[in-house]
Amino acid sequence: MAHASVASLMRTVESLLKSNSPMQSLTCDHGEEFSALHEKISSLEVAVKNFEKNNVSGKMTDLEVEVKEVANIVEQTIQLSVAEVVLANDENLREKAQERLSDSLQQVAEDIDRICKESTNIKDKGKHASKESTVQDFPSSSRNIQNVENNMVGRDDQRERLLNDLTTDFSGEPKVIPIVGMGGIGKTTLAKEVYNQKSILCRFDVHAWATVSQQHNRKEILLGLLRSTIKMDDTVETKKRYLIVLDDIWSCEVWDGVRRCFPTEDNVGSRILLTTRNNEVACYADTENLSLRMSFMDQDENWSLFKSAAFSSEALPYEFETVGKQIADECHGLPLTIVVVAGLLKSRRAIEDWESVAKDVKSFLTNDLDEQCSRVLGLSYNHLTSDLKTCLLHFGIFPEDSEIPVKKLMRSWMAEGFLKLENDLEGEAEKCLQELVDRCLVLVYKKSLDGTKIRSCKVHDLIYDLCVREIQRGNVFIMNDIVLDSMHEKQPFMRVIGDEIDDCYFGFF
């Protein structure tokens, strides 16, 4: 996406212009040129934001591609030219480097002027014609940290069935209970709901939870189980009753790799609960016919979840309730799509916005529910502001299903220049994160003791897939070991980043 590149260029120039910049002596010689360039980039940034805001189709236009390429080239040119001046080891070389820097700044200013003119010619494209809108004064969403997706709505029969299977006395080896269903249907939410019940906490001596994901590592899985054990005074000893949850197992090979690590003798009453999208895995692991297949939510549950995600207990005007029920029904009982669409609409006050989203969701109707879910998530992404898009995409550089410390995430945003330097960076980062949480795109994982601060977070794996797709489509980052098939050979500059090298950001400032 173009905004990420323009924002990065903007922060690079701002870094040079700061009064406490180590490059202050350099910018004094070229202060007017840098200031003029900063003004041009600022205008371009506003134009790009407005264009992306109105381009809700999500398709990257020729203009956005050109803006991104020009911004990347300009940033690279500035960094290399400045580096040449800084590294010059005698006065003669420095003088020549200064001249080349002046020439470079003149050239990049012309490039920015050209792209600004092109964007100005179409700045009104896609804007909605002004018209009267029916606006209701909904109360603003609470700033208390909530995690709607982890609040179970309905599914009483399946909850009771799972509780019964966990607490019924069985003889022999520990029993395996697979929960199977498509992505976003609520497998993890159901498992957490039951895992945290008081009756379950009291029944088992040892409780442990690990998320597996596609990029599995047996050592990390087992370490995750050890880290999550509750008040354990020793390892899982003989005759101790344990409950192990393995979330998101993708293959039978992974199950074979970890199951032999769990004790099976004299651990009567123990349970291993696993979640999977793969029916083959569920059948392979289930030796006692205990598999629980997640069903889709019914119409009443759809509306109940949508309403709680969008408005909590607030009453809705009739016309909004009518459209809201239509939208909830079009999500076809898939909880993830319901809460994400509700998050998109919770701050919208115009009935026309609701009707537009209802029309979009209905147009996504297909027999392939995975594809329909992907399109709905894409709709929510496309309605984000440019700033929020770049911040959300950053989750794609972390390992799938990983718990992300908020401080680490915010420092990454700051280092990448996604936040404006003139603002309180930490406050701006907290605001962006809270906005993504409010939209049900980011999940709160851990909170501070008083419940007012988010300590760590994560994204659903379908949201993660969306981030990676958009990163690849827009050539935003080169990451870890992800190969970007869409990268053009002519692309002169890419942002290089990844969780494994997050202490080694590339740049000169």
pLDDT per position as a tens digit, 140-156:
444 444 454 556 777 88
Q: Is a pLDDT exceeding 50 seen at residue 173?
A: yes
pLDDT of residue 463: 92
Q: What is the rounded average pLDDT of the residues 365-384?
A: 84
When mean pLDDT is compared over 47-61, 82-96, 114-128, 322-336, the highest value belongs to 322-336
Which has the higher per-residue pLDDT, 62 or 389? 389
Q: Is a pLDDT exceeding 50 seen at residue 496?
A: no
pLDDT of residue 474: 66
DSSP conformational letter for 175: E
SS3 211: strand
pLDDT of residue 55: 59
pLDDT of residue 134: 40
Among the listed residues 307, 274, 365, the one whose alpha carbon sits nearest the alpha carbon of residue 154: 307
Count Cβ atoms below 10 Å from residue 12 Cβ, excluding itself: 21
pLDDT of residue 180: 93
DSSP conformational letter for 136: -
HEC string of 450-501 equals CCCCEEEEECCHHHHHHHHHHHHHHCCEEECCCCCCCCCCCCCCCEEECHHH
Express as a percent the part of the chain with pLDDT over 70: 75
Pairwise CA distance, residues 371 & 367, whole Å: 8
Q: Is a pLDDT exceeding 50 seen at residue 135?
A: no
Q: Which two tokens stand for residue 114?
A: 């050209």
Q: What is the pLDDT of residues 401-429, one digit of tens each?
A: 888 999 999 988 887 777 766 667 888 89
On average, the pLDDT of the chain sits at 77
Q: Given pLDDT bands bounded at 50, 70 and 90, which one contains residue 181? A: very high
Q: Is a pLDDT exceeding 60 seen at residue 456?
A: yes
pLDDT of residue 325: 92
Which has the higher per-residue pLDDT, 29 or 23? 29
pLDDT of residue 216: 62
Lowest mean pLDDT among 34-48, 280-294, 298-312: 34-48
Pairwise CA distance, residues 414 & 408, whole Å: 10
Domains located in the chain, CATH noted: 1-123 (1.20.5.4130), 156-293 (3.40.50.300), 297-382 (1.10.8)
Q: Is a pLDDT exceeding 50 seen at residue 222?
A: yes
Contact 100, 81 (CB under 8 A): yes
Q: Is a pLDDT exceeding 60 seen at residue 70?
A: yes
Express as a percent the part of the chain with pLDDT over 90: 16
Q: Given pLDDT bands bounded at 50, 70 and 90, which one contains residue 4? A: confident
Q: Given pLDDT bands bounded at 50, 70 and 90, which one contains residue 459? A: very high
In what side-by-side order are the strands of the sheet with 292-293?
206-211, 242-247, 271-276, 175-180, 292-293
pLDDT of residue 506: 33
Q: What is the pLDDT of residues 312-344, one digit of tens each?
A: 666 777 888 899 999 999 988 899 999 999 988
Q: What is the rounded average pLDDT of the residues 362-366?
A: 81
Phi and psi, residue 272, nearest 5°: -120, 115
DSSP per-residue codes, 107-127: HHHHHHHHHHHHHHHTTTTTP
Which has the higher per-residue pLDDT, 208 or 47? 208
pLDDT of residue 423: 66
